[in-house]
Structure 1
Amino acid sequence: MYRIEQEKPADLWEVEALYDLCFAPGREALSSYRLREGVSQVAEFSLVVRDTDNTLAAAIRYWPVLVGPKAALLLGPIAVHPTRQGEGLGDLLMRTSLDLARVAGWERVLLVGDLPYYQRFGFDILPDVVMPAPSNPARVLGYSLTSGAWDMCVGEVCKYVSHERF
């Protein structure tokens, strides 16, 4: 039995430890981390999953960015503890957080990841969106929370320090 809740400030070090466990050393050198520096995460969609013993099983975070002049949510990281993988927790976090973002009025989500994994949620390659270097363009993926949200949304991705969407 698991429960999903919004990540709290007290969860910070436990969530960071999970990310350290699940990702390669140097993860913070990735271009997506440059977009997060000095920017507050979007707390209402940054979620954790805990078991009945209150042990952290999974986490997901979102950050505001701009793609050209338009706001988007940068998803990531998402991680599931290695002992809990295969239980559907990543799927649960993805679907729950995307639904929350849609209800809150966000239009688009961006991430850097593997298309074969994220395609099942509706993500696709964004050929006209440019992440800061170094980034592999084939790993720049987008998801529309509203119909046509990525149409005519092109350009470089940069920091967005305000949570206002327009």
Structure 2
Amino acid sequence: MTYQFMPERPSDGPLIDPLLDRTFGLERHGKTVYRLREDIRPVETLSYVAVHEDDSLLASIRYWPIRIAQMPAILLGPLAVEPAQQGRGIGKGLVYHSLTEARKQGYSICVVVGDPGYYVPFGFQPAVSYGLILPGPVDPPRFQVLELKPGALDGVQGLIGREENAALSAGGEDQDSVRQVS
């Protein structure tokens, strides 16, 4: 199967919520991380999709601006892959591609709530051991953090909160990058 990664397009927006429903179900809206995303726009320069050669949407990844105490950071997720296409490396490719872009754009800390078996290979570590706290219930092993810049977490701890300035951006280099994958 041939697909490509590209920045999320306006035409992808209406397709992403149904993809998330198929992937995670409607109960996803009750999770703590959704409260951090409510009424906040995702980071535009880190919103990517995987698109099949026929232009159909295969997967989506978004990041959200957050703060750890007063330190800006990003929240990865949701990452959604069309259920029939899971297990083909599309999601892992999107994570790798988007984390690479996040580093290029100058972001220093990324938080995720997800399967440790999936995210640890990217370098994510338990967030609780760094003294990070989410503003609601979370399964501690699923709450993880990644330094995008070495030493970014030195002295950073505390409550993770919403970034009320939804226009947070650390650059925007290479946002038009498209990668073909076969």
- Asked if TM exceeds 0.5, the reply is yes
Kindly indicate whether the alpha-carbon contact (under 8 Å) linking 1:49 and 1:57 is maintained by their aligned counterparts in 2. yes
> Match for residue 29 of structure 1?
30
Structure 2: how far apart are the matches of 1:42 and 1:81? 22
Instruction: Tell me which of the two structures has the higher relative contact order, counting C-alpha pairs closer than 8 angstroms and 6 or more residues apart.
Output: 2
Contact 2:47–2:61 at 8 Å: present in 1 too?
A: yes
Shift of 1:69: 1.0
Give the TM-score of the pair, scaled to structure 1: 0.95
1:43 aligns with 44
Residue 10 in structure 1 maps to residue 7 in structure 2? no
CA contact (8 A) 2:43 2:169 kept: no
Please report how far the alpha carbon of residue 161 of structure 1 lies from its aligned counterpart in structure 2 after TM superposition: 2.3
CA contact (8 A) 1:40 1:161 kept: no
Partner residue, 1:97? 98
- Aligned-partner Cα distance in 2 for 1:35–1:86: 28
1:70-112 CA deviation, whole Å, 9 max, x = no partner?
0110000001111111211011100100010100000010011
Letter in 2 for 1:96: H
8 Å Cα contact 1:102/1:145 also seen in 2: yes
Query: Normalising to structure 2: TM-score of the pair?
Result: 0.87
Cα deviation for residue 55 of structure 1 reads: 0.9
Identity %: 36
* 2:147 aligned residue: 144
Distance 2:115 2:4 in 1: 27
* CA distance in structure 2 between the aligned counterparts of 1:78 and 1:5, rounded to whole angstroms: 14
Instruction: Read off the aligned partner of 2:153 and give its amino acid letter.
Output: W
Please say if residues 67 and 153 of structure 1, whose CA atoms lie closer than 8 Å, have aligned partners that are also in contact: yes
Q: Tell me, which stretches of 5 or more residues in structure 1 are unaligned?
A: none
CA RMSD, aligned part only? 1.2
Q: 1:132 maps to what in 2? A: 135
Counterpart of 1:139, as a letter, is R
SS of the equivalent of 1:64 reads strand
1:110 corresponds to: 111
In structure 2, C-alpha distance between the alignment counterparts of 1:39 and 1:99, rounded to whole Å: 23
**Aligned mates of 1:10, 1:107 — CA distance in 2:** 30
Unaligned runs of 5+ in 2: 171-182
Q: Pairwise mapping of residues 67-82 of structure 1 onto structure 2 (< 5 A)?
A: 67-82=68-83
